[in-house]
Chain A
Amino acid sequence: MISLFKHNNYPNFWKEYLTQFKQKQSKNIENTRFVIFDTETTGLNTKINRILSIGAVSVFDNTIDISKTFEIYVKQNNFSAETVKIHGILKEGKLNKIEESNAIEKFITFIGNAVLVAHHAAFDIEMINMALKRMNIPKLKNKFIDTGILYKKLEGKKDKHFNLDVLSDEFKIPKHDRHTASGDAFITALLFLKIISKLKQQRNLHYSDLFRASNRKGLL
């Protein structure tokens, strides 16, 4: 009962988000909407550091639709001068920034029930979950894919672990706007498309393969 009561108190955007997961979802790569995203943060500690910007693009049927991209900058009092040199976002910059809760609402509305994709996804997802927690909202319900792990499914790459720069070079993706959320999201999206295409060449790839861990013995 308590949970039901709580549920009713969630903001509308979250209720709408939840209803989308009640629908049956496609189990086919071409018919699945993927949202590839990246966050820039004040640091790497998900407990104390905060989100400065979120960039996301959506992929459907091997295609990135630029008219449906997401780019947002967040106002934060918790600010670390240390990381400015990485992401270049100043506390009082010229960028149009919005409140964290507003940014999260917009992001949740953008992603809907899409499969989330990020490079080292666990960190970015946790950053979003922590922000949701501050709004008294539970965690994300989306399935997600880590391109770092997806890469390991390729033949001969099982034990490799690389950052986005190295993978961009390997897959010949131009590293424009590295360390901006949108730029990294776009690079990750291309990486995602290319890894999937390679996997398809190597084997008969199924939707469910995308989510399985690579180190399971006996499978794949």
Chain B
Amino acid sequence: MKNTIAERIYDFLKNFPPFDILEKDQLLLISSNIKVTYFEKEKFIFEQDQNPHENFYVVKDGAIGLYRAMDNEQILVDICDEGDIFGLRALIQGDNYLLNAKANEESILYAIPIQLLKEIIKTNDKANKFLIASFSTNIRSPYAKNNNGHLFANEEMLQLNQSDLADIQTIKYSKHPITCSKNTSVKNAADIMCDKRVGSILIVENKNPIGIITDKDLRLKIATGLFSIQNKVADVMSSPVITSHEKITTTEAQIAMLRHKITHLCITKDGTPNTELIGVLSEHDIVVLHGNNPSVLIKELKRAKNINTLRYIKNKSYELLKGYIEQKVPLIFILNVISEINDALTVKAIAFSLTEMKSDPPVKFSWLALGSQGRHEQLLITDQDNALVFENVNEEDYSKTKAYFLKLAKKINDKLHFIGYEYCPADMMAKNPKWCLSLDEWENQFNTWITKPTEKAVMMCTIFFDYTLVYGDTNLVQKISESIFKSITNYEIFLNFLGRNAMENPPPLGFFRQFLVEQNGENKDQFDLKSRALMPLIDAARLLTLSHHIKDVNNTIARFQKLIEVEPQNKNVYLSCIDSFKILLRYRTTQGIKHNDNGRYLDLNNLNKSEKLKLKGCFSTIKNIQELVKIRYNLAQMM
């Protein structure tokens, strides 16, 4: 039977998540089983501690205020307007309502039977994820008791999608193949391969390729004793070779390799074995091209012979990041991969710089990454933050030692800049004499910051405490850490100062209509995602791990995980921090990629409902963790 009204409800709901991702017949089923309810202003839809209804609600018209009753006071927690869902948490978790829902204006609500939704989310994975995410972001604490597990699986549930854009691209092949003549001995050929660090060598005659020897041939034919290393390459080479023209696409090359069960294709002038060899294409090149194999990228990075390759790989890692974000790869995985690439690029830049120095380092040293790179949270490349520490030396050797490392640091900073890491505008780089210090100097510096916690000192701590050893001596870093903890133990009040710093940016309470209602009542259109949403979580994680003397854990997610181990009673708070941090960081990265900037500021008017919901939930997490910090460090008294 035709149902005009249900169709109209369908038209309304389809604009709002999660209804927008339901199948048409699923949404029609919901639409034709809705109850339309009218509420006068000031009427309650449900009240705190009531048993859950059979339906949850979508606001069609009007506005519903959600209030928490506390000591005879009604605290406004959230306002739901057109398209907002409320009253769902209690139904799914099967406990009583935690808030009062009251019509702030006269309102028309669509009441949707929970049973219907439950059945649909069984088969609609996307809708399920949305609901889980909006739970993690729902009005009260997202870490309500029944969420354990699946909430946080949300990030991890996302699967890697393989998309092969590169399939139809032509391949970049090696244009300078390593070759030898057919009379070369196997030993000489192997020497050449070692020298050039390649896994294969081509045998040419009159510039035409006639055969190939790979690592595998050496393993199968030489090492087994089948042939001696004095044999000529012609005796052991695989011949003839499979050739191709240079315009071959990835797919064609893969097919050719599969068909001939080979790992190398020779590129010749006209594509036949009878013309000059101009290059070689290995299976490795194809995998690299596909780019979705980060370990290959890192391998390629380790083999890089010049700085241009580093720049190329750096660009490629950005493409990799873009792909990951588009394909909704789990954030932890992305962080690991991108951080590893960042670190490997830095290591390589250091190695190149060291070879340019006239002499070896006079003493041991360590290169430290600071800030977001130190925390392994740098996705969009912002700028360099780094420092250098060298072993203590005698007073008479100090100045020349420092001069050596400053020179080295400058080379490294410049190289990193060339690769694509902007210089730090605040000059927090190892080439700055202030941040290229001996172990003693660093220990003093940290001790000064800790015992004289001026605002600036605390700010410095937030950057320098998040250091990670990227290159050099582990021992030096270990000593700095020990010294920092010693200073903190002797001067515990420092943590209160650090705590006050962590409270500097309270999160906004929520969105109302188009605007962000901040607790101080100020409306802003541009939202500072970094300082208002990410930093509070980062700061809290740092502070709390420091207070437990947890060493060597710098990553915010890892810090919260560690905190769960030592404070199991606060497990839920910390779990929700991890989840919020992931959501926010992914969001910032997505924004940055979209607008080609650092993703720090976002225009609230461009957010869709689901994004608002998620952000809103993150804010309440931040509020909770700040509350925890505030109580723990008695900050109310300090402020």
Q: A residues engaging B (CB < 8 A)?
A: 55, 57, 62-67, 69, 71-73, 95-96, 172, 176-177, 180, 182-183, 186, 189-190, 193-194, 197, 200-201
- Contact of B38 with A193 in the complex, beta carbons under 8 Å: yes
- Contact of A71 with B4 in the complex, beta carbons under 8 Å: yes
Nearest A residue (CB) for B110: A66
Given A177-B4, A182-B3, A194-B106, A63 and B37 contact (CB-CB distance below 8 Å): yes
- Contact of A183 with B8 in the complex, beta carbons under 8 Å: yes
Contact of B1 among A71, A193, A194, A201 (CB under 8 A): A71
User: CA A42 – CA B38 in complex, angstroms?
Assistant: 33
- Contact of B6 with A66 in the complex, beta carbons under 8 Å: yes
User: CA A177 – CA B8 in complex, angstroms?
Assistant: 8
Jot down 24 A-B pairs with beta carbons below 8 A, ordered by A.
A55-B4, A57-B5, A62-B38, A63-B37, A63-B38, A64-B36, A65-B36, A66-B3, A66-B31, A66-B33, A66-B35, A66-B36, A71-B1, A71-B4, A96-B1, A172-B61, A177-B4, A177-B5, A182-B5, A183-B4, A183-B5, A197-B40, A197-B106, A201-B40
- Contact of A63 with B36 in the complex, beta carbons under 8 Å: yes
CB distance from B189 to the nearest CB of A (A): 80
B229 near A: Cβ within 8 Å?
Answer: no
Residues on the A chain within 8 Å of B9, using CB: 66
* Interface size, B (range): 20 to 34
B91 near A: Cβ within 8 Å?
Answer: no
- Contact of A64 with B8 in the complex, beta carbons under 8 Å: no
B34 near A: Cβ within 8 Å?
Answer: yes
Chain B 8-39: CB-based contact to A (< 8 A → 1; otherwise 0): 11000000000000000000000111111111
Residues on the A chain within 8 Å of B39, using CB: 62
CB distance from A56 to the nearest CB of B (A): 10
Contact of B4 among A62, A64, A67, A182 (CB under 8 A): A182
Nearest A residue (CB) for B5: A186
CB distance from A131 to the nearest CB of B (A): 20
Q: List 8 additional contacts besides A64-B37, A66-B32, A182-B4; criterion CB under 8 Å.
A: A62-B39, A63-B38, A66-B9, A67-B33, A69-B6, A71-B3, A189-B36, A190-B38
CB distance from B42 to the nearest CB of A (A): 10
Contact of A66 among B5, B40, B61, B106 (CB under 8 A): B5
Residues on the A chain within 8 Å of B37, using CB: 62-64
Is chain A's binding surface mostly helix, strand, loop or mixed? mixed
Given A182-B4, A183-B5, A197-B106, A64 and B40 contact (CB-CB distance below 8 Å): no
User: CA A183 – CA B3 in complex, angstroms?
Assistant: 10
- Contact of B4 with A180 in the complex, beta carbons under 8 Å: yes
- Contact of B4 with A63 in the complex, beta carbons under 8 Å: no
User: CA A218 – CA B39 in complex, angstroms?
Assistant: 32
Nearest A residue (CB) for B7: A177
User: CA A193 – CA B1 in complex, angstroms?
Assistant: 26
The 5 closest A-B pairs by CB, nearest first: A182-B4, A64-B36, A193-B38, A63-B37, A197-B40
B111 near A: Cβ within 8 Å?
Answer: yes
Contact of B35 among A63, A96, A197, A201 (CB under 8 A): A63
Residues on the A chain within 8 Å of B5, using CB: 57, 66, 69, 71, 177, 182-183, 186
Contact of A65 among B35, B61, B108 (CB under 8 A): B35
User: CA A64 – CA B31 in complex, angstroms?
Assistant: 12
User: CA A161 – CA B106 in complex, angstroms?
Assistant: 24
- Contact of A66 with B34 in the complex, beta carbons under 8 Å: yes
CB distance from B308 to the nearest CB of A (A): 62
- Which B residues between 100 and 127 are near A, CB-CB below 8 angstroms? 106, 108, 111
B2 near A: Cβ within 8 Å?
Answer: yes
User: CA A182 – CA B1 in complex, angstroms?
Assistant: 12
Residues on the B chain within 8 Å of A55, using CB: 4
User: CA A73 – CA B9 in complex, angstroms?
Assistant: 21
- Contact of B106 with A67 in the complex, beta carbons under 8 Å: no
User: CA A190 – CA B108 in complex, angstroms?
Assistant: 9
User: CA A189 – CA B1 in complex, angstroms?
Assistant: 20
- Contact of B3 with A69 in the complex, beta carbons under 8 Å: yes
CB distance from A98 to the nearest CB of B (A): 10
Given A66-B9, A177-B8, A201-B40, A95 and B35 contact (CB-CB distance below 8 Å): no
Residues on the A chain within 8 Å of B2, using CB: 71, 73, 95-96
CB distance from A88 to the nearest CB of B (A): 12
User: CA A170 – CA B35 in complex, angstroms?
Assistant: 24
Residues on the B chain within 8 Å of A72, using CB: 1
User: CA A63 – CA B2 in complex, angstroms?
Assistant: 21
Residues on the A chain within 8 Å of B6, using CB: 66, 69
Residues on the A chain within 8 Å of B111, using CB: 63
User: CA A197 – CA B36 in complex, angstroms?
Assistant: 15
Residues on the B chain within 8 Å of A71, using CB: 1-5
User: CA A57 – CA B189 in complex, angstroms?
Assistant: 89
User: CA A73 – CA B32 in complex, angstroms?
Assistant: 19
Residues on the B chain within 8 Å of A201, using CB: 40
Residues on the B chain within 8 Å of A186, using CB: 4-5, 8
User: CA A48 – CA B5 in complex, angstroms?
Assistant: 30
- Contact of B61 with A67 in the complex, beta carbons under 8 Å: no
User: CA A176 – CA B36 in complex, angstroms?
Assistant: 15
CB distance from B120 to the nearest CB of A (A): 16
Which has the most chain B C-beta neighbours within 10 Å: A57, A62, A180?
A62
User: CA A186 – CA B8 in complex, angstroms?
Assistant: 10
Which has the most chain A C-beta neighbours within 10 Å: B3, B32, B39, B111?
B3
Nearest A residue (CB) for B37: A63
CB distance from A188 to the nearest CB of B (A): 12
- Contact of A197 with B4 in the complex, beta carbons under 8 Å: no
Chain B 219-251: CB-based contact to A (< 8 A → 1; otherwise 0): 000000000000000000000000000000000
User: CA A55 – CA B7 in complex, angstroms?
Assistant: 14
Nearest B residue (CB) for A187: B5
User: CA A118 – CA B345 in complex, angstroms?
Assistant: 76
Residues on the A chain within 8 Å of B35, using CB: 63-66
CB distance from A161 to the nearest CB of B (A): 24
Residues on the B chain within 8 Å of A177, using CB: 4-5, 8
User: CA A180 – CA B4 in complex, angstroms?
Assistant: 9
Residues on the B chain within 8 Å of A200, using CB: 40
CB distance from B70 to the nearest CB of A (A): 29
